[in-house]
Amino acid sequence: MSKHSFSSLAALGNQLALIAIIGMLSYAFVGQIYFGELPCPLCLMQRLGFVIIGFTLVLNIRCGAYSAHYGWGIIGGLVGMMVSLRQVLLHALPGDAGFGATFLELHFYTWAFVSYLGLITGLAILLMLPNRDVRSRSLFANTLVILFMIIVFANLASTLLECGVGPCADDPVKYEGWIWLRSRFGF
């Protein structure tokens, strides 16, 4: 493969990983809004891990790939993976039905663990490519960056509405922050 092929492969890898992050965050957000499944604090921390990886991919796409970007992505992935593994282990007892809905008979925190494993592996492979000039100003890359920013902002807003200014409930059933806003400002 030529040097240019590696560059194209690295650019494609960063954009595909960002598509995966956007998909996971969007699916979790739709589940929260459409199905009314409010995320627990561990779920919010897992989303944060995906956001950190997403921001490193955005930095790679917009500014060029640097080892530090991949390093932050891998650290974000490791933290998210540990949080999701903790949640898996919390619900590993016999008779425990788990928390939230399932997809293909696995809970989303289990899928998060698998996703983190795949993303960390992908980031490590991208880090090893010799030419990582992955900057892109294409319409596709710009659209991905904008979609990522929108889903991050939406998740941030919904988290503030869910938790308010205090700690989030362990098993949330209502938007505490929205209730707080209504009581303070008469919404």
Flag whether pLDDT at 78 surpasses 90.
Answer: yes
User: What local confidence, expressed as pLDDT, does residue 184 receive?
Assistant: 61
Q: Which H or E run includes 157?
A: helix 139-163
DSSP string over 24-77: HHHHHHHHHHHS--PPPHHHHHHHHHHHHHHHHHHHHHHH---HHHHHHHHHHH
Residue 4 — pLDDT band, cuts 50, 70, 90? very low
Domains of the chain as residue ranges with CATH: 3-185 (1.20.1550)
**Sequence letter at residue 183:** S
Question: Residue with structure tokens 């425990």?
Answer: 96
Give the lowest-confidence range in 33-37, 62-66, 179-183: 179-183
For 15-62, write each residue's pLDDT tens digit: 999 999 999 999 888 888 888 888 888 889 999 999 999 999 999 988
Alpha-carbon Rg for the chain in angstroms: 18
The reported pTM is 0.86
Cβ-based neighbour number of residue 117 at 10 Å: 14
Mean per-residue pLDDT, 91-104: 77
Three-class secondary structure of residue 102 per DSSP: strand
CA distance linking residue 156 with residue 128, whole number of Å: 33
**Sequence letter at residue 24:** M
Helix, strand and coil in the chain, % to nearest 5: 70, 0, 25
**Angle subtended by helix axes 41-63 and 108-128, to nearest 10:** 20
